Amino acid sequence: MTGEPIRAAVLADTHGVLRPEVEEVLSTCDVVIHAGDFDSQLLYHKLSSKWPLYAVRGNNDRGVWAGGLPGVKRFSVGGVKFIMAHKRQDVPSDLGDTQVVIFGHSHMYQQEEVFGRLWLNPGGCGFKRFTLPLSLAVMTIENGSWTLEPVWLENGYGTRSDAISQREKAKESRYEKRQKRYKREKEKGAARMGPAAENAEASGAMDTREELFLIARILRLKGAGESVSWIAQNLQADPAFVERVCEAAERIQGADARQVLAAL
């Protein structure tokens, strides 16, 4: 492959599922880069027997076969220097001259350049997780440089913006259903409790259980290394509220949702 362009399939979170459309993409590639959570010895051996495979161990990769997989891997392909870990927070702070950082775990496609360095999560391409689109990426590497092509695996997800739009539409639908259910429950409660319930509604009091549930989700995503803006967008939450929760969690290390709520 020396001197020739190298096509590298970048994927993660297959979880024991190798879809035909994924195999079709892999058949056009020279190497496979997998950011963990094979979740299957058979799938791991199938990939490693057909392609040069660069891989790390995911949190669902267990057993003797996975024991030899590193948690963090540094490697080069076609003169491009990579570092890879399954979770973003496990990527070492000392990146040196690394050009591309690859991670997975969230099943959500992410692509951003920070100070000239690419940070890439190819998303999940195994089983469907919530409304997240199935995806992987293909890198074409030549003479120490690269180009990147996201690959969306579902109809209607032809581009990244299509995928995000479809995901947000599904989120909005779920949000509307929750709001309708919440309104019905409030109306029933008001009918039972009379003026007291109406006063609570008028004052904008938030249901404690709903608030605790939201805080717990924010803490979980923060623990996965996601940014405040990304968490707010993903959960359709008030960015200022998300920021306050994250600040409280920083002040009280190891705090749970109830402790954070009490500190707000």
Residue in the structure block whose two tokens are 């959570």: 37
User: What pLDDT sits at residue 204?
Assistant: 46
Structurally, what CATH architecture does the domain formed by 6-152 represent?
Answer: 4-Layer Sandwich (3.60)
DSSP for 200-212, written as a single string: HHHTTPPPHHHHH
* Residues whose CB falls within 8 Å of the CB of residue 47, separated by 6 or more in sequence, listed in order: 18, 26, 32, 34, 38, 53, 55
User: What pLDDT sits at residue 160?
Assistant: 55
- Chain segment 217-236, per-residue pLDDT in tens: 899 888 888 888 888 888 88
Say whether pLDDT at 195 is over 70: no
Q: Report the percent of the chain where pLDDT is more than 90.
A: 51
SS3 244: helix
Contact between residue 240 and residue 122 where contact means Cβ atoms under 8 Å apart: no
Mean pLDDT of 120-137: 89
- Chain segment 48-63, per-residue pLDDT in tens: 999 999 999 999 999 9
User: What pLDDT sits at residue 129?
Assistant: 80
User: What pLDDT sits at residue 4?
Assistant: 85
* Residues whose CB falls within 8 Å of the CB of residue 4, separated by 6 or more in sequence, listed in order: 142
CA atoms within 13 A on the CB side of 28: 10
How far apart CA 171 and CA 182 sit, in angstroms, is 16
Mean pLDDT of 10-31: 95
Residue 74 sits at φ, ψ, to 5 deg, of: -110, 135
Contact between residue 62 and residue 42 where contact means Cβ atoms under 8 Å apart: no
Binning pLDDT at 50, 70 and 90, where does residue 202 land?
very low
User: What pLDDT sits at residue 14?
Assistant: 96
Other C-beta atoms within 10 Å of 175: how many? 13
Angle in degrees, CA 12, 119, 253, rounded to 5: 90
* Most confident stretch, 80-94, 154-168, 226-240: 80-94
- Chain segment 99-127, per-residue pLDDT in tens: 999 999 999 999 999 989 999 999 999 98
For 58, counting Cβ atoms within 10 Å of its Cβ (0-12 exposed, 13-18 middle, 19+ buried), the class is: buried
Binning pLDDT at 50, 70 and 90, where does residue 168 land?
low
Tell me the residue type at 82.
Answer: F
Which structure tokens are listed for 150?
């996201």
In this structure, of 48-62, 132-146, 167-181, 249-263, the range with the lowest mean pLDDT score is 167-181
Contact between residue 69 and residue 57 where contact means Cβ atoms under 8 Å apart: yes
Q: Report the percent of the chain where pLDDT is more than 70.
A: 82
User: What pLDDT sits at residue 224?
Assistant: 82
Contact between residue 77 and residue 6 where contact means Cβ atoms under 8 Å apart: yes
Closest CA to 80 of 30, 140, 29, 145: 145
User: What pLDDT sits at residue 205?
Assistant: 46
